[in-house]
Structure 1
Amino acid sequence: MVFSQTMDAKLPRVYVPGPLIVGAGPSGLAIAACLSKRGVPSVILEKENCLASLWRLKAYDSLKLHLPKKFCQLPHFPIPSDFPNYPSKEQFIDYLDSYAKHFSISPMFGYEVKSASYNAAGGFWRVVAGGSEFVSRWLVVATGDNAAPAVPEFDGVEDFGGKVMHSCEYKNGGEFKGRKVLVVGCGNAGMEISLNLCNNGARVSLVVRHKLHILPRDILGRSSFAVAVDLLKLFPLRFVDWFLIISSRLALGDTSKFGILRPKDGPLKLKGKTGKTPVLDVGSLSKIKSGQIKVVGEIRRFTSRHVEFMDGKVEEFDSVILATGYRSNVASWLKEESLPGKGQGDNTKKSWLSNIKGKNGIYSIGFTGQGLLGTSIDAERTAEDIGRQWNSNRKYLSSKINPYMYHEIGAVCSS
């Protein structure tokens, strides 16, 4: 890496010949590997000091992949065959570390992006991070939708005397033994944290605000997701939704008896319309049926020791865990109107590129709501598109950077 400082520049400037990637999670690693396979160098900026910080720093200990490993492996390097079908958090982290080592991916850690803007006159992106300014023809945003905790506002929560924490701070239920804990959020994380708390001797209540689909993780020994994928090759979506609901009813029973109502739309149709993923049951429902996990309704407000619900019930709790998901933080630093994958394009084969490619050489990986499988597909497509430009127009693209700037700022790249 070579830095240099111009007379009138406030920050050291770094020229990146290939794409600049923001984020060293699975999305960032996947696109870097796919670019490397095509001979295109890239640089990854990562605000934390490790790979896959969401998995390593913010995931609960009992987390496992929700889908079989074949649907979660990244391009050109499979998850080890001796790993179980649903690898644990630690096993998946080990896989990502091996992935980075295999492709010689070395992110620049501790570089949090403060701003990114496009210089139309020069034809390049200017990204300020870690006290430096990076200049690149291409910008790949690979931070995904899970960059920052989503924390809802509740009346009176600031007066609550118990512990309130987001699920990103939760590791295991050991410290909650014997305590009354309210889990807010009934997605996969909320369900699994409730189960883990229950298994560790906590008295658990689970807030269920909306209708949701709960499916068995496996149907007749096969992943529900794999079954759905195979059926969609032969039958229309409405039939596959019907099959999943019937299979769920047979395996799990009528969830409405326990306060969990199903939406009118089937699980796949709902996912396509709203992005809401069905819950894959790993044992939580049996605890709900037995009363060990109590289903409660929407919260009205907090008091010093109690939580009041919309139905008028009031209960005392020692702790509250907000399993309310995450949100993207891109809008805080990307000085553009929109990001590809956020309202641009649709899901038709004709327009797939518009979901990941925006104007002026910006791309997004991990924003289409299709999980790790979608991330891998988008990484391949993005690398193919950038690689085509790199190989056919390399000389021209290099000249797009102002010549005097090129000589003064130096260069940095990694293969």
Structure 2
Amino acid sequence: MPQTNLPVCVIGAGPAGLATARALRAKGLAYRQFDAGQKVGGIWDIERDGSPMYDSAHFISSKTMSGFAAFPMPDHYPDYPSNAQIQSYIEDFASTNDLASAIAFETKITDIEKLDGGTWRVTTDRGETTEFLGVVCATGTQWHPKLPDLQGQFDGEIIHSNTYRSTETFKGRRVLIIGAGNSGCDIACDAAANADAAFISMRRGYHFIPKHVFGKPADLFDHEGPNLPLWLGRPILTLLLRMYVGDVTRLGLPKPDHKLFESHPILNSQILHYLQHGDIAAKVDVDHLDASEVVFKDGSRETVDLIVCATGYSQRQSFARDYFEYRGDRPNMHLQIFNRAHRNLFGISHIETNSGAFKMFDQMAFLIANYLRDQIDGAQSAGRMDAMITGPAPDLSGGIKFVASDRHQGYVDSDTFKRHLDKVSKSLGWRTLSQEDLFAPRPQMGMAAE
């Protein structure tokens, strides 16, 4: 590890960046943190330019199963908090841990360069250039929208879902939503309740999971239930869902082309409600555009004047040059944390999973902090971590055969991933977060530049 007196650069002050800052501080590592926004929160700051947040957005995972380690969400929060409540919770987390004062806000990282000595030169849009011991990219996954290649000519308006904010967008219009992820289905529900006509186009069928099962949040119900092997648990839950949801093909939805859990399920009951009441109609994939009409692959046509593309995001980091290896549009790292070519360059938010991410960020952040600490101290465990990084990738699927899509390139089963991170930490003698870390003193070099 070169020049150990230098601080670590943390890029981003959303949930992953704040978890990283807390972990670095707990291990006595100096850092400087940068964020392009005006305050903490990342995508949850709905007022920030480029945020994909919209007025009706709520947390997909429940408050009970979410939140940072040693910092639960408030008891008065509903089962699925609103985006405003999540933003407030993130701000409280930063305030309680005295993290915000160490962040240079409204400062965008424009370039990082690996120097001959192994350190990093980081350049901001303010023209500031600083040398750092290492770089942690906690920039999130939903800033660079991907638009589909729609053939033909369209007289109406085409937007990506990351620019959608309010139901006012839909009033007096005929709206098509392309894409059926959780955000796409949320936005489709807004269109169903507010547009003159609403349609949702899906390339494939999905499994729909209600947000509550027997009166409990679905993820809490799963957590408190028996720990069944996949071969037994999946058919039981599939049967439960068939009883709860029924046959979705009668609503015009395509039959799922995969087994339960092999693709990210849709946690949304409202979209089924609107389909059942005719407030929105399901359509197959788009074939082409024809002036004021959209032509679908089954030959049907609909007159539309607004298309909303909920078609995902690229996770490529333009400021990082070619220092990351990509699989599709997603960084390909060991455990989606460790860069295989550069031992002091990390990612922490470039992961897709089937559960809440905040506690996962804590685990990932402490792996980074422990690894950097041991590199500086010359501990043998750092070398053992090196061997893991260059060794074979572990199977983090939990026995699930995920569908072959770009989104699932970095997908992991949450429980399997968490257990593996715990196993790695224990094998190297690394501890994870403890209560006293909430108020660990910040190293002086961690202060943001004035």
Q: Tell me the TM-score normalised to structure 1 length.
A: 0.81
Matched, 1:259 2:252: yes
Distance in 1 (CA, whole Å) between partners of 2:23 and 2:255 is 40
Aligned to 1:153: 149
Structure 2 counterparts to residues 154-169 of structure 1, below 5 A: 154-156=150-152, 159-169=153-163
Aligned to 1:139: 135
Give the C-alpha shift of residue 124 in structure 1. 0.4
Q: Which string of whole-angstrom CA distances, capped at 9 and with x for unpartnered residues, describes residues 129-176 of structure 1?
A: 2212221111111113223112122113xx422222111111121342
Matched, 1:384 2:370: yes
Distance in 1 (CA, whole Å) between partners of 2:358 and 2:253 is 28
Aligned to 1:402: none
Aligned residue type for 2:122 = V
Secondary structure class of the residue paired with 1:308:
strand
Distance in 1 (CA, whole Å) between partners of 2:206 and 2:14 is 29
Distance in 1 (CA, whole Å) between partners of 2:308 and 2:243 is 31
Aligned residue type for 2:71 = F
Matched, 1:361 2:344: yes
Distance in 1 (CA, whole Å) between partners of 2:276 and 2:146 is 29
Query: How many aligned positions are there?
Result: 367
Aligned to 2:30: 41
Q: Which string of whole-angstrom CA distances, capped at 9 and with x for unpartnered residues, describes residues 47-87 of structure 1?
A: 23332242223311111111111332123322222212211
Distance in 2 (CA, whole Å) between partners of 1:16 and 1:308 is 61
Distance in 2 (CA, whole Å) between partners of 1:235 and 1:297 is 35
Secondary structure class of the residue paired with 1:196:
helix
Matched, 1:239 2:212: no
Do the aligned residues in 1 keep the contact of 2:37 with 2:107 (CA within 8 Å)?
Answer: yes
Aligned to 1:31: 20
Do the aligned residues in 1 keep the contact of 2:58 with 2:83 (CA within 8 Å)?
Answer: yes
Distance in 1 (CA, whole Å) between partners of 2:33 and 2:17 is 7
Q: Tell me the TM-score normalised to structure 2 length.
A: 0.75
Secondary structure class of the residue paired with 1:260:
coil
Aligned residue type for 1:18 = P
Aligned to 1:54: 43
Relative distance call for 1:196 and 1:98 in structure 2 (3 A) is same
Q: 1:320 aligns with which of 297, 304, 307?
A: 307
Secondary structure class of the residue paired with 1:93:
helix
Do the aligned residues in 2 keep the contact of 1:16 with 1:42 (CA within 8 Å)?
Answer: no
Aligned to 2:284: 297
Give the C-alpha shift of residue 25 in structure 1. 1.2
Give the C-alpha shift of residue 182 in structure 1. 0.5
Aligned residue type for 2:446 = C
Give the C-alpha shift of residue 287 in structure 1. 0.8
Structure 2 counterparts to residues 184-223 of structure 1, below 5 A: 184-223=178-217
Aligned to 1:273: none
Do the aligned residues in 2 keep the contact of 1:368 with 1:374 (CA within 8 Å)?
Answer: no
Do the aligned residues in 2 keep the contact of 1:17 with 1:413 (CA within 8 Å)?
Answer: no
Structure 2 counterparts to residues 393-404 of structure 1, below 5 A: none
Give the C-alpha shift of residue 201 in structure 1. 4.6
Aligned residue type for 2:264 = T
Distance in 2 (CA, whole Å) between partners of 1:134 and 1:207 is 47
Relative distance call for 1:207 and 1:51 in structure 2 (3 A) is same
Relative distance call for 1:372 and 1:326 in structure 2 (3 A) is farther
Do the aligned residues in 1 keep the contact of 2:206 with 2:256 (CA within 8 Å)?
Answer: yes
Aligned to 2:408: none
Matched, 1:285 2:296: no
Relative distance call for 1:295 and 1:332 in structure 2 (3 A) is farther
Give the C-alpha shift of residue 310 in structure 1. 1.4
Give the C-alpha shift of residue 264 in structure 1. 4.8
Q: Which runs of 5+ in 2 are unaligned?
A: 47-51, 380-443
Distance in 1 (CA, whole Å) between partners of 2:65 and 2:321 is 31
Relative distance call for 1:264 and 1:255 in structure 2 (3 A) is same
Aligned residue type for 2:94 = A
Distance in 2 (CA, whole Å) between partners of 1:309 and 1:199 is 23
Matched, 1:83 2:77: yes
Distance in 2 (CA, whole Å) between partners of 1:287 and 1:153 is 28
Q: Which runs of 5+ in 1 are unaligned?
A: 1-14, 271-275, 346-351, 394-410
More divergent stretch after superposition (48-57 vs 137-146): 48-57
Aligned to 1:117: 113
Give the C-alpha shift of residue 97 in structure 1. 1.2
Distance in 2 (CA, whole Å) between partners of 1:84 and 1:301 is 42
Aligned residue type for 2:10 = I
Distance in 1 (CA, whole Å) between partners of 2:9 and 2:39 is 18
Q: 1:73 aligns with which of 67, 84, 98?
A: 67
Secondary structure class of the residue paired with 1:70:
coil
Aligned to 1:250: 243
